[in-house]
Chain A
Amino acid sequence: MRANRKRRLVIVVGLVALVAVAVGLTLYALRANINLFFTPSQIAAGEAPHDRTMRIGGVVKKGSVERSGDSLQVAFSVTDFASDVRVSYDDILPDLFREGQGVVVIGRLRDDGEFIAQQVLAKHDENYMPPEVAEALKATGNLPDGSVPSS
Chain B
Amino acid sequence: MLIRILPELGHFALILALGMALLQALVPLAGATTRRPLWMAFAKPMVRGQFAFLVIAYLCLTASFALDDFSVAYVADNSNSLLPWYYKLSAVWGSHEGSVLLWVLILGGWSFAVSLFSRRLPQDMLARVLGVMGWISSGFLLFILLTSNPFERLLPNVPSDGADLNPLLQDFGLIVHPPMLYMGYVGFSVVFAFAIAALLGGRLDAAWTRWARPWTNVAWAFLTVGIALGSWWAYYELGWGGWWFWDPVENASLLPWLAGTALIHSLAVTEKRGTFKNWTVLLAIFTFSLSLLGTFLVRSGVLTSVHAFANDPSRGTFILILLGVTVGLSLLIFALRAPRVQSLSGFGWLSRDSLLLINNILLVVMTVTVLLGTVYPLLLDALDLGKISVGPPYFNALFVPLTALLCLFMGLGPLARWKRMPGRELVRRLALSALLAVVIAAALPLLYGGSWSLGVTLGLLLALWLVLSLVRDVLDKSRSAQGRMAGLGKLRPAYWGMVLGHCGLAVTIVGVAMVTHYNVERNVRLAPGKSVEVGGYRFAMTDFNEHRGPNYVADTATIEVTRPGRSSFVMQPEKRFYLASGMPMSDVALRPGLLMDLYVALGEELDGGDWSLRIQLKPFVRWLWLGGLIMAAGGILAVIDRRYRRESKRSTVVREDAGSEAMLITAAAGKGAQ
A114 at the interface (CB under 8 A from B): no
Also in contact, A92 and B523, with CB within 8 A (given A4-B346, A30-B372): yes
Cβ–Cβ contact A125 & B166, under 8 A: yes
How many angstroms from the CA of A123 to the CA of B309 in the assembled complex?
A: 10
Asked if A148 CB lies within 8 Å of chain B CBs, one says yes
* Centre residue among A93, A124, A132 by max chain B CB count within 10 A: A124
Partner of B306, one of A30, A93, A106, A124: A124
**A96–B312 CA distance with the chains assembled, in angstroms:** 24
Q: A53-B391, A92-B603 are in contact. Are A18 and B361 (CB under 8 A)?
A: yes
Whether A26 contacts B391 by the Cβ 8 Å rule is no
8 Å CB contact of A126 from B583, B603, B612: B583
Among A29, A95, A123, A130, contact of B585 (Cβ-Cβ < 8 Å): A95
With A30-B394, A32-B394 already in contact, 9 other A-B pairs whose C-beta atoms are closer than 8 Å: A22-B368, A22-B369, A25-B398, A34-B390, A95-B586, A123-B306, A124-B306, A125-B310, A130-B304
Q: Are A36 and B584 in contact (CB under 8 A)?
A: no
With A72-B612, A92-B612, A130-B304 known as contacts, the answer to whether A33 contacts B394 (CB < 8 A) is yes
Given contacts A26-B369, A72-B525, A126-B582, contact A36 B388 (CB under 8 A): yes
Q: Is the pair B603, A29 in contact by a Cβ cutoff of 8 Å?
A: no
User: CB of B386 within 8 A of chain A?
Assistant: yes
Let me know if B388 and A37 touch, CB within 8 A: yes
Contact, CB under 8 Å: B523 / A70:
no
A33 touches B525 (CB 8 A): no
Tell me the bound Cα distance from A96 to B582 in angstroms.
Answer: 10
Residue B606 CB within 8 A of the other chain: yes
Binary interface encoding of chain B residues 21-45 relative to chain A, with 1 for a CB under 8 A from any of its CBs, else 0: 0000000000000000000000000
The reply on A9 being an interface residue by CB < 8 A is: no
Instruction: Indicate which residue in B166, B525, B607 contacts A124 across the interface (CB closer than 8 Å).
Output: B166
A88 to B: closest C-beta gap in Å: 15
Name the one of B167, B306, B376, B604 contacting A92, with C-beta atoms under 8 angstroms. B604
Interface residues in B, total, Cβ within 8 A = 46
Closest to B357 in A: A11
Please tell me if the beta carbons of B388 and A91 are within 8 angstroms of each other in the complex. no
Which residues of A in the span 81-135 have a Cβ within 8 Å of any Cβ on B? 91-93, 95-97, 104, 106, 123-126, 128, 130-132
CB distance from B249 to the nearest CB of A (A): 13
Given the known interface contacts A29-B394, A33-B393, A124-B168, the answer about A70 and B525 at a Cβ–Cβ threshold of 8 Å is yes
A140 at the interface (CB under 8 A from B): no
Q: A33-B394, A35-B390, A125-B166 are in contact. Are A22 and B365 (CB under 8 A)?
A: yes
Specify which of A55, A71, A72 is in contact with B389 (CB 8 Å cutoff): A55
Task: Find the A residue at minimum CB distance from B381.
Answer: A131
Residue of B nearest to A93 (CB): B604
A60 to chain B, nearest CB (A): 14
User: Residues of A contacting B311 with CB < 8 Å?
Assistant: 151
* A96 and B583 alpha carbons, distance in the complex (Å): 8
A44-79 near B? 1/0 per residue, CB < 8 Å: 000000000101000000000001011110000000
Distance (Å) between the CB of A21 and the closest chain B CB?
10
Is residue B387 contacting chain A, with contact meaning CB distance below 8 A?
Answer: yes
Q: For A4, what are the chain B residues with a Cβ–Cβ distance below 8 Å?
A: 346
C-alpha gap A151/B575 in the complex (Å): 28
A15–B612 CA distance with the chains assembled, in angstroms: 53
Q: Is B265 an interface residue (CB 8 A)?
A: no
What is the 8 Å Cβ interface bit string for chain B, positions 389-423, against chain A (1 contact, 0 not)? 11101100110000000000000000000000000
Chain B nearest CB from A2 CB (Å) reads: 13
Is the Cβ of A26 less than 8 Å from the Cβ of B581? no
Find out whether the CB atom of A35 lies under 8 angstroms from the CB atom of B603: no
Report the Cα distance A37→B582, complex, angstroms. Answer: 30
Which residues of the other chain, A, contact B538 by a CB distance below 8 angstroms?
Answer: none
Q: Is B614 an interface residue (CB 8 A)?
A: yes
CB-defined contacts of B19 to chain A, threshold 8 Å: none
Partner of A93, one of B390, B524, B603: B603
State A151–B390 Cα separation when bound (angstroms): 20
One of A26, A33, A91, A132 near B387 (C-beta < 8 A) = A132
Structural contact, B390 and A33, CB atoms closer than 8 A: yes
**Interface SS of chain A:** mixed
A106: chain B residues within 8 A (beta carbon): 391
A96 to B238, CA, bound (A): 12
Given A92-B603, A93-B603, A96-B583, A30:B373 Cβ within 8 A: yes
**A26 contacts across to B, CB distance below 8 A:** 368-369, 372, 398
Taking CB atoms, residues of chain B closer than 8 Å to A130 are: 304
Q: How far is the CA of A151 from the CA of B311 in the complex (A)?
A: 6
Given contacts A67-B606, A72-B523, A92-B523, contact A148 B310 (CB under 8 A): yes
Chain B residues with CB under 8 Å of A53's CB are 391
Within 8 Å of chain A (Cβ to Cβ): is B301? yes
Chain B residues, Cβ within 8 Å of A29: 393-394, 397-398
B53-74 CB mask vs A (1 if < 8 Å, else 0) is 0000000000000000000000
> How close is A129's CB to chain B, nearest CB, in angstroms?
11
Q: Which residues of A lie under 8 Å from residue B394 when comparing CB positions?
A: 29-30, 32-34
Pick 30 A–B contacts, CB within 8 A, sort by A. A15-B361, A22-B368, A22-B369, A25-B398, A26-B368, A26-B369, A29-B393, A29-B394, A30-B373, A33-B390, A33-B393, A34-B390, A36-B386, A37-B386, A37-B389, A69-B608, A70-B525, A72-B523, A91-B523, A92-B603, A92-B604, A92-B614, A96-B583, A124-B166, A124-B168, A128-B310, A130-B304, A151-B301, A151-B311, A151-B312
Q: Which residue of B lies closest to A69 (CB)?
A: B607
In the assembled complex, which residues on chain A have CB atoms less than 8 Å from the CB atom of B312? 151
Q: Bound state CA distance, A33 and B373, in angstroms?
A: 10
CA distance A7 to B347 in the complex (A): 11
Given known contacts A26-B369, A96-B583, A125-B166, is B388 in contact with A34 (CB within 8 Å)?
A: yes
A95 contacts across to B, CB distance below 8 A: 239, 575, 583-586, 604
| B578-624, CB < 8 A from A | 581-586, 603-604, 606-608, 612, 614
> What separation, in Å, do the CA atoms of A110 and B389 have in the docked complex?
20
**Nearest CB to that of A30 among chain B residues?**
B394
Q: Which of A15, A32, A125, A128 has most B Cβ within 10 Å?
A: A125
Instruction: Tell me, rounded to whole Å, the shortest Cβ–Cβ distance linking A27 to chain B.
Output: 9
Q: Do A126 and B604 contact each other (CB < 8 Å), given the known contacts A30-B372, A92-B523, A131-B304?
A: no
Which A residues lie within 8 Å of B614 (CB)? 92
